[in-house]
Structure 1
Amino acid sequence: MDYLKCVESFVNTVTCGSFSAAADKLGLTPAMVGKHVRELESRTGCTLLHRTTRRQGLTDAGLRFYQYGLQILATVREADGLANHLYENVAGVLRISAPVVWGTHVLTPILSRFLQHYPGVDAEMVLSNRKVSLIEERFHLAIRVGTLNDDGVIAIPLAPYRMILAASPDYLARQGMPELPADLQQHHCISFSQWRSDHRWQLEGPTGTQEVAMTPRLMVDSGEALRQAALSGLGIVQHAAITLQSDIDAGRLCRVLPDWQPPARPMHLLRLPGKQQLALVSSFTDFLLRALSDK
């Protein structure tokens, strides 16, 4: 039998003065209220109520349990109120994981605007290129680039993660501008070490897909280090368009083989399943999707 229901029946019996009055308040029968009280007495091993044909009163143990029961029910109401607040109000701490580059250039400004709009929300953003576990690491949301192999999560498609090739004007002045993908074999290339590709760059263009075998002059596991190496004139970099576009617009870098680019990588927003989502999670999800659609 539900322990909390037993406590609720006992407390209301004492407060209302009888099984019948407690039953009316709780929407139960007097017999069920009496059964709840007897179950509580059986569980505690104590007589909680003195019963006579005319009235019933508290025993010493019953008085102490009544006081505890009031606290128990108050705590339950407080917990229910907190849960309802979290499901109905945009408040709390949002935990979200995202890849370093996308999180830095795209998610950070969007999340900052969201926090300004909702003063009751705090956030913890973890930027990492590894695949996190939403359940084990207690994330509300995660941005995932690449193929999905997560069971039991809801994946919302986002715009694909687009890559481009670029190099500094200084490098291109010294080494020349490639005209075909095969020309990359004669150039210094800068590669992201976390994307294992057997030293092959796959490019899609007007005549289909081509793979170019090359030996990277530099392999590095940092997106910002890739960018800095390209800016310093080391060679041709394959990197996210969102990272390099401002440098291209400013003339610090130039697009290389603009008709050819690496295959776009699928990207998703992941969340745990459930019909009812925290208002915090659903509100940020809507905010993020609207912001991305405006880009």
Structure 2
Amino acid sequence: MDRLVSMRVFAKVVEQGSFARAAEALEMSATVVTRNVADLEAHLGTRLLNRTTRRLSLTETGQQYLERVRQILSDIDDADALASSSSRKPSGTLRIYCHPGFGQSQLAMLLPLYAQSMPDVVLDVTLADHAVDLVEQGFDVGIFIGLQKFDASMIARRLATSSVVLCASPGYIARRGAPATPAEVSQHDCLNYAFEQLRHSWPVEWDNQVINVPIVPRMVSNSGAVLRQAALAGMGITVRSSFMLEDDFESGRLVQLLRGHHLGDLSVQMVYPSRRLLSAKVRSFVDFMNAQFPHPERDPWLPEA
């Protein structure tokens, strides 16, 4: 058994949702695909996939193994791509898609650094929060946040983990006080994102379970910048992703609330269509962004307690 081949076959079966579609995508026979997965399970001594006549599903072990397999394959392909592109000079137009919040607060500061080191690359940057098909719309690379959807066939590398926090200005806290428990948030003015799932309640971890705390919106907006300005002006409490805090906590303009309660995390992911024959300009940007965020499992923006 070629373990690396079997790992690629296993990952493709999960991605495609069936042995037949994986066989077609890999240009293998269904028998060979099935045997590769069976040999891998025999080698590991555990079942990775539950099979029925209608669908496939990962076992708990299979899910954990898949995450490691994807990382291993990603590292191998990255090494191959780096070697093949090392002799080419990055040039041409690099089309980047980015979530607006991350684009305005983080990417905008990083792009001049990248441009300085890559003088022959022209940057074409689009910020949008609607669904984006990178291939169909001609983007070379995208930065996706949280639950934003992208095609499962894309290559995705986590850059960082952003904490979701509650905060308010010192002026608001002096006037209204700070909530001591999640339940007390319901008694405060709230500055809220215009998402239906957040319009009437905020999910907060409390006593080892997540509860939806009812809120009273003082303002609703689809713009994080608008909500930040309202919070700075003392209008109420708002929810912020840590990458959008700028230096508000360090400067004291905003104060984090309910520090002992978890409101969730957002994954910041860099997505691009393929490693095979990856252009030098895309490879240079991927390497640059990975270097800026060397610890993807951590939150680099939230000050330590």
| Same topology, TM > 0.5 | yes
Query: What pairs up with 1:9-88 in 2 under 5 angstroms?
Result: 88=88
Mark the CA change 1:245 to 1:114 in structure 2 (over 3 Å): closer, same or farther: closer
Map of 2:41 onto structure 1: none
CA distance in 2, matches of 1:231, 1:217: 14
TM-superposed deviation, 1:215: 2.6
Letter aligned with residue 240 of structure 2: H
CA distance in 2, matches of 1:259, 1:91: 48
TM-superposed deviation, 1:105: 1.8
TM-superposed deviation, 1:138: 0.6
Query: What pairs up with 1:140-155 in 2 under 5 angstroms?
Result: 140-147=140-147, 148-155=149-156
Tell me if 1:275 matches 2:276: yes
Q: Indicate if the aligned counterparts of 1:87 and 1:278 stay in contact, CA closer than 8 A.
A: no
Query: What pairs up with 1:82-231 in 2 under 5 angstroms?
Result: 88-147=88-147, 148-194=149-195, 196-204=197-205, 207-231=208-232
TM-superposed deviation, 1:166: 0.6
CA distance in 1, matches of 2:192, 2:230: 10
Map of 1:250 onto structure 2: 251
CA distance in 1, matches of 2:194, 2:282: 33
Mark the CA change 1:237 to 1:175 in structure 2 (over 3 Å): closer, same or farther: same
CA distance in 2, matches of 1:211, 1:283: 43
Letter aligned with residue 118 of structure 2: Y
Q: Indicate if the aligned counterparts of 1:155 and 1:270 stay in contact, CA closer than 8 A.
A: yes
Report the 3-state secondary structure (helix = DSSP H, G, I; strand = E; otherwise coil) of the residue aligned with 1:106.
Answer: helix
CA distance in 2, matches of 1:135, 1:244: 32
CA distance in 1, matches of 2:158, 2:239: 24
TM-superposed deviation, 1:118: 1.1
CA distance in 2, matches of 1:256, 1:292: 26
Q: Indicate if the aligned counterparts of 2:155 and 2:275 stay in contact, CA closer than 8 A.
A: no
TM-score normalised by the chain length of structure 2: 0.65
CA distance in 2, matches of 1:85, 1:174: 59
Letter aligned with residue 163 of structure 1: V
TM-score normalised by the chain length of structure 1: 0.67
CA distance in 1, matches of 2:260, 2:87: 48
- RMSD of aligned alpha carbons: 2.2
TM-superposed deviation, 1:267: 2.7
Q: Indicate if the aligned counterparts of 2:159 and 2:289 stay in contact, CA closer than 8 A.
A: no
Q: Indicate if the aligned counterparts of 2:85 and 2:283 stay in contact, CA closer than 8 A.
A: no
Task: Name stretches of at least 5 consecutive residues in structure 1 with no aligned partner.
Answer: 1-83
CA distance in 2, matches of 1:85, 1:145: 28
Q: Indicate if the aligned counterparts of 2:97 and 2:139 stay in contact, CA closer than 8 A.
A: yes
CA distance in 1, matches of 2:253, 2:108: 24
Report the 3-state secondary structure (helix = DSSP H, G, I; strand = E; otherwise coil) of the residue aligned with 2:260.
Answer: coil
1:76-95 Cα offsets, whole Å, 9 max, x none, are: xxxxxxxx999922011111
Report the 3-state secondary structure (helix = DSSP H, G, I; strand = E; otherwise coil) of the residue aligned with 2:217.
Answer: coil
TM-superposed deviation, 1:131: 2.2
Number of equivalenced pairs? 212
Asked which structure has the greater CA Rg, the reply is 1
1:56-98 Cα offsets, whole Å, 9 max, x none, are: xxxxxxxxxxxxxxxxxxxxxxxxxxxx999922011111111
CA distance in 2, matches of 1:265, 1:176: 28
Q: Indicate if the aligned counterparts of 1:226 and 1:239 stay in contact, CA closer than 8 A.
A: no
CA distance in 1, matches of 2:268, 2:151: 13
Q: Indicate if the aligned counterparts of 2:96 and 2:124 stay in contact, CA closer than 8 A.
A: yes
TM-superposed deviation, 1:241: 1.4
